[in-house]
Amino acid sequence: MSRLRRSRLKRWLPGLLLVTPSIVLIAVFVYGMLGWNFRLAMTDQHDEISEGSRFVGLENFVALWDQERWGLSVRHAIVFTLVFVGGALALGWLLAFLMEKGIKGEGGFRTVYLFPMAISFVATGVVWRWLMNSGQGEQAVGLNRLFQAVGLGFLENDWFRGETWGMAAMAIPAIWQMSGYVMALFLAGFRGVPEELREAARVDGCREWQVYRYVVFPFLRPVTLSALIILGHISLKVFDLIVSVSGKQIITDVPAVFMWVAVFDAHDPAKGATIAAYIVLAVAVFVVPYLIWNARREKRS
Binding residues for other proteins (CB under 8 A): 10, 13-15, 17-18, 20-22, 25, 29, 47-50, 68-69, 72, 129, 133-136, 138-139, 158, 161, 163, 246-251, 253, 261-262, 264-268
Q: With respect to other proteins, which residue has the nearer C-beta, 6 or 297?
A: 6
The set of residues, in sequence order, having a beta carbon less than 8 Å from that of 283 and lying 6+ positions away, is 232, 233, 236, 237
Q: What is the gyration radius of the CA atoms in the chain, in angstroms?
A: 25
> Shortest gap between Cβ of 19 and other proteins (angstroms)?
9
Rank residues 92 and 173 by Cβ distance to other proteins and give the closer one: 173
Three-class SS state of 55:
strand
Nearest CB to other proteins, comparing residues 65 and 209: 65
Q: State which residue, 48 or 199, has the beta carbon closest to other proteins.
A: 48
CB of 71 to other proteins, least distance (A): 11
Q: Work out whether the CA dihedral 182, 187, 192, 197 comes out positive or negative.
A: positive
CA distance 252 to 254: 6
Shortest separation between residue 40's beta carbon and other proteins, angstroms: 13
**Residue 78 Cα distances to 128, 141, 285, angstroms:** 21, 29, 14
CA within 13 Å, CB half, 234: 24
User: Minimum distance between the CB of residue 266 and other proteins, rounded to whole angstroms?
Assistant: 4
How near is the Cβ of 98 to other proteins at its closest, in Å?
36
**Residue number with CB closer to other proteins (1 or 17):** 17
In the complex, what is the shortest distance from the CB of residue 238 to other proteins, in angstroms, rounded to a whole number? 19
Of 23 and 119, nearer to other proteins (C-beta) is 23
* Separation CA 221–CA 189 (nearest Å): 9
Of 190, 194, 251, nearest to 224 by C-alpha is: 190
**Would you call 219 exposed, middle or buried from its count of C-beta atoms within 10 A (0-12, 13-18, 19+)?**
middle
